[in-house]
Every structure is written in C-alpha cells, then in structure tokens.
Amino acid sequence: MRLTSLISAAFLAPLLSMTVSATPALAWGAEGHQITGLIAEKHLSEAAAAQIHQFMGKEDLAQASTWPDEMRSAPTDFWRHRAGHWHYVTVAGDDYQPSDRPREGDAISALAAYSAVLRDPKRDKEEKRVALRFVVHIIGDLHQPLHAGAGGDHNDHGGNDVPVVFLGRPMPLHGVWDYGLIEHRGLSSATYASALSASITPTQVSAWSASSPEQWVHESIALRKTIYPQTHKLSEDYAQQHQAEVDERLEQAGVRIAAYLNAMFQPETAGS
C-alpha cells in the first residue's frame, strides 16, 4: 500500500486520544520536542503563523510536536506497526539512500507525504492538524543522531540495544540522547528553549534554513559516528563532551521547522 494511503488512517487517530494512555516518548523525549517547537514559534513568518492558526487554533508548535509520540500507544495497526517507521531513517551504508527504507516508508517519505497534505487546499482542518503535527515532529526526529540508525549487521535499533548507565541511571544509549542529556540540564522546556533561542545568531538562522531533509540526515549520521562510548558507564565527562552538540541539534531543528513551514505557507507572489 502506498504511503499516501497509509497516512489517511491517521486522520481517525484523534478520536482515540482521549481513551488511550501515552507511552514514553521515543524521539528527543517530550521535552526535547517541545523545545524545538518553542524555538520554531519565534521564527515563524507572519504569513505562516496566520495560516497555521486557521486550522490549529490555540494549539502551538510545542504542543503539536509531541502528539505523534503520545499516540504510539493507540491500539490500532496504524500506530503500532506502520507509523512507527516514520520517526527515523535506516542507513545501510555511509549515507542515506531511499532504497534502504521499508515498504511502510520512513521519516523522509512521511515528511513528504504529510507536507503534500498541508499544501492540498482540498484537505479539511482535521487532516491538516494531523499533518502539521507529524511534520513538526519528524523534523525534530531527523535531528536526533540516533534516528539515523545503521542497518544490516550493525543494526542496534538506533542505540536502543546499547545499554549504558548514564550518571548512575540505567538506560539505552538512545535514551541518553532522547532525554538524558536534556534532563541533565535541569531546566523546564520553556527556560531551555529561551536560553537556546537567545544564542542563535541571524547568520546561523540563514545557514540552517538553507538546507534539505537529506542534509539534516547527513549531519545526524556524522554526529552518530562520534557518540558511541567506549564504556557502558557514562559520567559527567560524557555529558560535558556532548551537551553542546545536543543544544545545537535542538536549535537547528527549531529553526528548520520554522523555515520549512515558512516556505510551505509563503504567499503567492503577484503575477505568479
């Protein structure tokens, strides 16, 4: 079945949201995604913000960003076996190749499919709400280095099969990057996002905005190769070594979410 057909099942998912409990977030964690959404809000154009408000109402990008993870416990085939593939990409060689994706698709193909929904004037508000939640979430996921997971004989499910003890707390390496390094800061999502936003320069905004999803994956692959530890006991040294990298990936994701949406909702130019 084509991915565009598969995603149509997601439009019924909000009906389940009040009857199922959420599982722990599996990508950046709720706080990480909220941080990217809060940063993105500061960089939205007026045109994009106005159009998004038309179908999202009072739901901001920080709230939207966590929804695809919150719904992963919904007892349907769509959420349990299909949409789960759309949070990451598999990298069998040195870089991402579309041929490596499973038949259900991956984060790159899902981003394209949901972007098409947002651009389609025939889609209703509920369809666009679901699509925007996925778009914001997926862009965040693609900036978490372990969401560009190695395939083949080296597959460790994005570090989920690599047990470590981070500052005395047992968790998979994936968890260290999803939430461990973020929680280590001891800041609320709002405070963390505000601090990161204050450090982003106009030059960085310009450079980060001029990129593609494939470039985001390429960056994650390069970073992923540097983060596997030599020991399973991770100390403050590991946190200090990689904290700046986590911060930059959150900053980049936030800026790029906004840039992606700004381009999508850019008003038609006169005479075009």
What is the number of domains present in the chain?
1
The answer as to whether 27 is a domain residue is yes
The parent domain of residue 106 ranges over: 3-11+21-264
Question: Does the residue 272 lie in any domain?
Answer: no
Cross-strand partners of 233: 165
As averages over each run of 10 residues, the pLDDT of the chain (272 residues) reads 47 35 54 97 97 96 93 81 86 86 91 96 95 97 92 78 96 96 96 98 97 95 94 96 97 98 80 38
Residue 145 lies in a domain: yes
Backbone φ/ψ region at 151: left (φ over 0), alpha (ψ -120 to 50), beta: beta
Q: Give the length of the chain.
A: 272
In a domain, 16, yes or no: no
Is 271 contained in some domain? no
Distance separating alpha carbons of residues 260 and 200, to the nearest angstrom: 17
The pairing of beta strand 89-91 with beta strand 169-172: unpaired
Residue 218 included in any domain: yes
Q: Is residue 269 part of a domain?
A: no
* CATH code, domain with 254: 1.10.575.10
* pTM listed for this prediction: 0.88
CA distance linking residue 152 with residue 140, whole number of Å: 25
